Amino acid sequence: MAKYNTAVKHEGKLTKITTPSRFGSHKSMVVEHLEDGRVVCRDDYGDYTTSVSRLDNGLADPNRYSRKM
């Protein structure tokens, strides 16, 4: 019987997260308010724009995590 390797392989990178969550957007990250219900947020990787409805909703924000990879 074959054994499966379930170990997660990392590239030796250790990232310390200084924001409330890894992929969600939060009010504490807001840097600037724009018109039309959009805001500029800042995380460990830089600034990004997102909608106010994405703040503190408990879901991942595609505007934040899509630019990380």
- Residue at 6 is within a domain: no
Separation CA 54–CA 69 (nearest Å)? 20
In a domain? residue 13: no
Q: Quick check: is 38 in a domain? A: yes
Residue type, 36: D
Of 45, 43, 67, the C-alpha closest to 55 is 43
* pLDDT at residue 11, as a whole number: 66
- Does any domain span residue 58? yes
Total domains present in the chain: 1
> Does any domain span residue 51?
yes
Which residues form the domain of 42?
27-65
Is 2 inside any structural domain?
no
Q: What is the pLDDT of residue 65?
A: 82
Give the separation between CA 47 and CA 31, rounded to whole angstroms: 9
The confidence score (pLDDT) of residue 5 equals: 58
Separation CA 2–CA 9 (nearest Å): 20
22 within domain boundaries: no
pLDDT tens track, the chain, 69 positions: 566 655 555 566 666 778 888 889 999 999 999 999 999 999 988 899 999 999 999 999 999 887 654
pLDDT value for 69: 45
Placement of tokens 């018109």 in the chain: 35
Residue 31 domain flag: yes
